[in-house]
A and B are shown apart, each in its own frame.
Chain A
Amino acid sequence: MSCHETRELIHGYVDGEVDLVKSMEIEEHLRDCHACTQSYKGIRSLHSVIGDGALRFDPPTNFERRLRSTLRRESEPQRRSIILRWRWVLAGTSLIAAVIVIWVVAGIFGRQSTGDLVAEEIVSSHVRSLMADHLTDVPSSDRHTVKPWFDGKLDFSPPVKDLSQQGFNLNGGRLDYIGNRRVAALVYQRGQHSINVFVWPSSGAAPVNEKASVHQGYNLIRWTNAGMTYWVVSDLNLAELQQFAQLLQGESQALS
């Protein structure tokens, strides 16, 4: 790992927010690099001075007691009127009923909106992977290295394709989280453009044909195939990204 990468990730490392693979790379770099070690020690020393409790402000004496009696006073008047309370119960029940109706209707007509939420997460994840310089956990252009790397990290095995012949080089893979589940992220490179491919099992959702959209200036294409959901995101132009999507689909169909 380079000094630049280390400096990018050092705060996450100090805070215990970097994954094991990156942590080990950082530690390896710190063993050899005096400058980065100094900066690590600087952050650690700041952390221990601020965190040792001397800078904390404790609540004034009796504040908790005063607060408690204010809270008690506040919740008392509501006991007076039972009728009023029943009105609230009634209003609350109607509100919940309305919410359920809206939720069901939105569920039927609004499939797109969950897609939009996922799309947003996909784009943030893509941007974060570029920003924190954390594109890959397993940097390799060999699909026979990348695919087995996911074993034991995921409860499924993502298909990994070699598309270097067609000008899309495999850069590696990484674990990511989309919609609160672990997903596989495969990283391809086309010229200066990074492409993230997110793959996870479709879990019984209706199959979706290829669908392209644009979010925050990024092109996204998604589809399901052979029980897997695929999302492709990049700042690459749509035509080339569609070509890439076609290649991925073509090959996975051929395999399954």
Chain B
Amino acid sequence: MPDQSKAVRFEEIALPHLGAAYNLARWLLHNEHDAEDVVQEAYLRALKSFSGYYGGDSRSWLMTIVRNTCYTWLQKNRALRLSDPIEDKLDEVGLDFADPEMILLQSADSQMVRHALQELPVEFREVMVLREMEDLSYKEIADIVDVPIGTVMSRLARGRKRLQALLAKRMGKEARIELPRNA
């Protein structure tokens, strides 16, 4: 009986976060089947360590496990490459515009944003997904990604700048909108 009630309690706590868990895995792994496998594995891991969960923020707890399972999978199946923080320059994405921060997007651009976001290095992509799509606070993201809050802030800032630069480049190619060069 206790195992049964434990399983029920686990489902009550963990399944409401399935949407967030799947979305993160899908964004990190780029592929529907892999995301499904990894989320399932993460939930099994979470069930096993459920006795070690003593209340608190269940979403952060579960998302940490999902995120770590994704990274393990990436390391095993694709050579996981994090961008070198020192080598990390905006130039590499081709900064054609005076200030890509100033491009204004509309909801019609979402397909283009999707492709650009997929091009971002994984450590920027994950904070963007957690912040912009799941609406998590810096503190929650810091717990999940296991970095200081200051790092979350700088990764978000750099992630957004990179994304804007990528978008500016795409928009420039397609010559779809006027970009303000100087303001």
Indicate if A50 sits at the interface (CB-CB under 8 A).
yes
Inter-chain CA distance A11–B138, complex, in Å, is 11
Q: Tell me which residues across on chain B come within 8 A of A252, comparing CB atoms.
A: none
Q: List residues of A (45-90) whose CB comes within 8 Å of B's CBs.
A: 45-52, 54-60, 63-64, 66-68, 70-72, 74-76, 78-79
Distance (Å) between the CB of B70 and the closest chain A CB?
A: 13
Indicate if A127 sits at the interface (CB-CB under 8 A).
yes
Q: Tell me which residues across on chain B come within 8 A of A92, comparing CB atoms.
A: 51
Contact of B110 with A55 in the complex, beta carbons under 8 Å: yes
Inter-chain CA distance A66–B44, complex, in Å, is 13
Contact of B4 with A67 in the complex, beta carbons under 8 Å: no
Contact of A67 with B18 in the complex, beta carbons under 8 Å: yes
Stretch at the interface among A33-41, A105-113, A152-160, A210-218: A33-41
Q: A49-B110, A60-B36 are in contact. Are A55 and B117 (CB under 8 A)?
A: yes
Q: A41-B104, A49-B107 are in contact. Are A15 and B32 (CB under 8 A)?
A: no
Q: Which of B23, B32, B154 contacts A56 (CB 8 A)?
A: B23
Inter-chain CA distance A136–B35, complex, in Å, is 45
Contact of B47 with A74 in the complex, beta carbons under 8 Å: yes
Indicate if A94 sits at the interface (CB-CB under 8 A).
no
Contact of A67 with B110 in the complex, beta carbons under 8 Å: no
Q: Which of A46, A48, A75 contacts B164 (CB 8 A)?
A: A46
> How many residues on chain A are close to B (CB under 8 Å)?
45
Distance (Å) between the CB of B10 and the closest chain A CB?
A: 7
> How many residues on chain B are close to A (CB under 8 Å)?
55
Q: Tell me which residues across on chain B come within 8 A of A11, comparing CB atoms.
A: 153, 156-157, 160
Q: Tell me which residues across on chain B come within 8 A of A93, comparing CB atoms.
A: none
Q: A15-B131, A17-B137, A57-B35 are in contact. Are A75 and B19 (CB under 8 A)?
A: no
Contact of B157 with A52 in the complex, beta carbons under 8 Å: no
Distance (Å) between the CB of B124 and the closest chain A CB?
A: 13
Indicate if B148 sits at the interface (CB-CB under 8 A).
yes
Q: Tell me which residues across on chain B come within 8 A of A132, comparing CB atoms.
A: 150, 153
Inter-chain CA distance A63–B43, complex, in Å, is 12
Chain B residue nearest in CB terms to A128: B150
Contact of B104 with A54 in the complex, beta carbons under 8 Å: no
Indicate if B11 sits at the interface (CB-CB under 8 A).
yes
Q: List residues of B (14-60) whose CB comes within 8 Å of A's CBs.
A: 15, 18-19, 22-23, 26-27, 32, 35-36, 39-40, 43-44, 47, 51
Interface of A is mostly: helix
Q: Which of A12, A58, A67, A127 contacts B43 (CB 8 A)?
A: A67
Q: List residues of A (1-49) whose CB comes within 8 Å of B's CBs.
A: 11-12, 15, 17, 34-35, 38-39, 41-43, 45-49
Indicate if A131 sits at the interface (CB-CB under 8 A).
yes
Inter-chain CA distance A101–B28, complex, in Å, is 42
Chain A residue nearest in CB terms to B112: A49
Q: A35-B183, A57-B27 are in contact. Are A71 and B43 (CB under 8 A)?
A: yes
Distance (Å) between the CB of B104 and the closest chain A CB?
A: 5
Stretch at the interface among B71-79, B81-89, B95-103: B95-103
Indicate if B171 sits at the interface (CB-CB under 8 A).
no
Q: Tell me which residues across on chain A come within 8 A of B148, comparing CB atoms.
A: 124, 128
Q: Which of A42, A56, A71 contacts B10 (CB 8 A)?
A: A71
17 A-B pairs with CB atoms under 8 Å apart are: A15-B138, A42-B104, A48-B105, A50-B113, A50-B117, A50-B128, A50-B132, A56-B133, A57-B35, A58-B19, A63-B18, A67-B15, A67-B18, A67-B39, A71-B10, A92-B51, A127-B150
Residues of B within 8 A of A (CB): 3-4, 6-7, 10-11, 15, 18-19, 22-23, 26-27, 32, 35-36, 39-40, 43-44, 47, 51, 99-107, 109-110, 113-114, 117, 128, 131-133, 135, 137-138, 148-150, 153-154, 156-157, 160, 163-164, 180, 183
Residues of A within 8 A of B (CB): 11-12, 15, 17, 34-35, 38-39, 41-43, 45-52, 54-60, 63-64, 66-68, 70-72, 74-76, 78-79, 92, 124, 127-128, 131-132
Give the 4 A-B CB pairs with smallest separation, nearest first.
Answer: A75-B7, A57-B26, A50-B132, A59-B22
